[in-house]
Amino acid sequence: MSTFVLDARTATPHFPGIGRYVANLAPAIAAQLEPDETLVILYPPASAGHFGACVGPQVRLVECAVSPFALRQQWQIPRLLRHLPPPQTSNAHPLIYHSAYYLMPYSLRVPTVLTFYDLIPLRYPAYVSPRTRVLFRFTMDMALTVATHVVAISAAARQDLTASFHVPPAKVTITPLAPDARFRPQSPAEIARVQNQYRLPDTFLLSVGINKPHKNLVALVEAFASNPQLAAHNTLVLAGPWDERYPQAKAKATHLQLGDRVRFLGPVDDADLPALYAAAMAFVFPSQYEGFGLPVLEAMACGTPVACSNASSLPEVAGDAALLFDPAQPDAIASALARLCDDAALRDDLRVRGIQRAGCFTWQAVAAQTLAVYRALGDNPATPN
């Protein structure tokens, strides 16, 4: 009997991206278990609903109120794992533990898988405190030392990891992410509902993401304003959580006197996101750095033409289904926006390519790749794969 433990304690609003990752990965793994395999999901008390679809004879949901930020996880999680059925015997495969976050128990003494996303605290040191940078490097070092194997969400992420922490490439497997199934072309009624709810114009350009500096929203606003005809006949809509520490994009829009030509929606309900993507004439993602770049695939899956940065992981995610630009050059961003607005045939082509591209990424594939790592460790627990 093989027992796989997926630590899903990050399925909380504090971890929107990582929470979505574990909430999608868990049911996809549960659906692909072999008869002699068991999946144990450690979940936070308020998030049981995320894993209701996983319930079955080979799946156990174990409530765990210990935060990844709590020191007591260092002894409580190992104790919890020691008491999980089925009991381990000399003939049984070892229990495999999978942490979705680098703040984890560091003395488990079982084969351990770690998911790695990005190096934002190190790539953008000016935007985090020295204490945060030191803690990130220290705790990431600890996690990588403990991990028997690492799954990275893109080839770019793996390259960052092996270059910055000297992790052997053979210890890292790429498991790309995928859009939720709810991201798909939307009905005209649903699109109209969301347009009315957020008071959106019939034609607009959309960008989705938090306003942190690496998302490059200031350059996007500058690029939009630099083409008077573009700004005069279109609206730029920016949606996503708003961090008050970084007001520069709003300040730039005010300084350039763009008025309601640039709209800041702030956080948008997850249920509205598919129709918001689908309502847009085009989606633009100017980020300077991404471990993966899931909004690009979400927009494509909804049938929205995409223009995105050519930095870090984004070219491998977008493939040939997006218009790529240099995020460091506002003129390049402006040119891409103008092409999308002026060329209906290009938009139609990107729309078709995008749906096809998004279909290449599924959570079933992510789960299969992840299970392959689990099983390899179960067959040879003492040797990193």
The one-letter amino acid code at 296 reads V
Token digits for 221? 């606003």
Contact, 113 vs 384, CB < 8 A? no
Contact, 117 vs 293, CB < 8 A? no
For residue 70, pLDDT over 90 is answered with yes
The string of pLDDT tens digits covering residues 214-272 is 999 999 999 999 999 999 899 999 999 999 999 999 999 999 999 999 999 999 999 99
Contact, 268 vs 207, CB < 8 A? no
Higher-confidence position of 125 and 180:
180
Q: Tell me what the mean pLDDT of segment 18-47 comes to.
A: 95
Instruction: Report the alpha-carbon distance of residue 199 to residue 368 in Å, rounded.
Output: 42
For residue 29, the model assigns a pLDDT of: 97
Instruction: Report the alpha-carbon distance of residue 143 to residue 115 in Å, rounded.
Output: 10
The string of pLDDT tens digits covering residues 315-353 is 999 999 999 999 999 999 999 999 999 999 999 999 999
For residue 88, the model assigns a pLDDT of: 43
Of the candidates 277, 206, 209, 276, the one whose C-alpha atom is nearest the C-alpha of residue 243 is: 209
Of the candidates 120, 295, 269, the one whose C-alpha atom is nearest the C-alpha of residue 193 is: 269
DSSP 35: T
Domain 2-178+363-379 has CATH 3.40.640.10: no
pTM of the model: 0.93
Q: How many CA atoms lie within 13 A of 338 on its CB side?
A: 16
First to last CA, the chain: 21
User: In the structure, what pLDDT confidence band is assigned to residue 128 with cuts at 50, 70 and 90?
Assistant: confident
Count CB-CB contacts under 10 A for residue 54.
22
CA 81 to chain centre: 28
- Cα–Cα distance list, 224 to 204, 205, 258, 278 (Å): 12, 10, 10, 21
User: In the structure, what pLDDT confidence band is assigned to residue 48 with cuts at 50, 70 and 90?
Assistant: confident
Q: Tell me what the mean pLDDT of segment 366-375 comes to.
A: 98
The string of pLDDT tens digits covering residues 203-217 is 999 999 999 999 999
CATH number of 188-358: 3.40.50.2000
For residue 14, the model assigns a pLDDT of: 87
Residue ranges of the chain that CATH labels 3.40.50.2000: 2-178+363-379, 188-358
Instruction: Report the alpha-carbon distance of residue 248 to residue 22 in Å, rounded.
Output: 32
For residue 91, pLDDT over 50 is answered with no
